[in-house]
Amino acid sequence: MQPIELLRELSDAFGVSGFEDEVREILRARISPFVDSVTVDALGNLVAMRKGKDDRVLMLDAHMDEVGFIVKWVDDKGYVRFAPLGGWDERIVAGHRVVLRTRDGRKRLGVIGSAPPHILTAEERAKPIPMDRMFVDVGATSRQEASDLGVEIGDPFTIHYPFSEIADGYVTGKALDDRAGCAVLVETAQRLADQKLPMTTAFSFAFGEEVGLRGATTAAFHIDPSLALAVEGTIGADMPGIAEESQPTRLGRGPALSVADRSIVVSPKVVRALEKLADGNGIPYQYKLPTYGSTDAGAIHLTRGGVLSGIVSVPCRFIHSPVSTLRLNDFENAIRLVAAFVRSAPNGLL
């Protein structure tokens, strides 16, 4: 499978935080041929293991979940009220089509409606609509009809735009944060499949990052790694109106190395090791400017007695919105850097 097709399959899969099973099954199928074992823990983390010469474990992490919503009420006219799962910008939620997954696994369509501007006052038009006043129109005219369609309290849904290549080497999809990271891990496993690995390597696909680094917390405890790398689709902000010093990453400049975000100050030893590896392999890279966002590395590095952890990210524009974009050359260079890290682990760090 071409890397772009893997990205497409993963971005289009349904995987709102806590409801990652569709993504998990795709990842299980895609990574199984390249590892020794695959397990799923009680909470839904998928961990694929490859034995290496050294029993100490290098943990590679990417999170399976995407930001979405959950049904919190269906009113007697059949309109659905909802709460966010993960961080959304309320200003850009209204006016989109959604895909909702019912309890029996069916997908239903809906629309996040808003009152037409014609009937609003000037004051109402000037203000964003708070999320607790928004609703989803699923085509029902009563609570019973919504129920007949399969829509119930607790159902997850998300705004779904299909993955597309909008220009040569430039793609858009709904969930590049963090299916880009998931795809980097699968590609890395594939490219290293016929090589002996120096360290035992865990490819860990975490649930629930967007609701508080939850899956990585338990996965890291169980895996008990000596070294870890979180792979993210992170904030690309090279766009009009944003000052350069406020652009966490820029597209087309290679994978981003984190030095510090809100969840971790990365050990300088780890940053230096990644820089050296990138330089030695002719891989372009940039820094993710401190201290925007949080990552699974925040949870992993605080596990047990502490785990030396780094973060490599694929810059993605417009994350936590209905669409995101990335450049395939950044994605490819992230794979090359992560594969180089695994191949030469522990990179003088242990």
Interface with Zn ion (CB under 5 A): 177-178
Residue 49: burial class (beta carbons within 10 Å; 0-12, 13-18, 19+): middle
| Closest distance of CB 157 from Zn ion, Å | 19
Q: Which two tokens stand for residue 345?
A: 């682990």
- Which residues have C-beta within 8 Å of that of residue 291, sequence separation ≥ 6? 260, 261, 262
Would you say 15 or 156 has its CB closer to Zn ion? 15
| Closest distance of CB 60 from Zn ion, Å | 15
What's the chain's length in residues? 350
In angstroms, rounded to a whole number, what is the distance separating the alpha carbons of residues 17 and 144?
Answer: 27
**Which of these, 192, 170, 209, lies nearest to 66 by C-alpha position?**
209
Would you say 180 or 342 has its CB closer to Zn ion? 180
Would you say 156 or 215 has its CB closer to Zn ion? 215
**Which of these, 176, 200, 248, 128, lies nearest to 9 by C-alpha position?**
176
Would you say 178 or 330 has its CB closer to Zn ion? 178
| Closest distance of CB 256 from Zn ion, Å | 13
| Closest distance of CB 15 from Zn ion, Å | 12
Q: What is the DSSP string of 195-211?
A: S--SEEEEEEEES-STT
Would you say 178 or 332 has its CB closer to Zn ion? 178
Would you say 225 or 293 has its CB closer to Zn ion? 293
Residue 146 main-chain phi, psi, to 5 deg: -60, -45
22 included as an active-site residue: no
216, containing H or E segment? helix 214-223
CA dihedral 140, 143, 146, 147 (to 10 degrees): -160
Within 160-305, strands assigned E span 164-167, 170-173, 199-206, 227-236, 256-258, 286-288
Residue 21 main-chain phi, psi, to 5 deg: -55, -35
| Closest distance of CB 172 from Zn ion, Å | 17
| Closest distance of CB 177 from Zn ion, Å | 4
- Catalytic annotation, pick one of 9, 66, 187, 209: 209
Catalytically annotated residues: 209
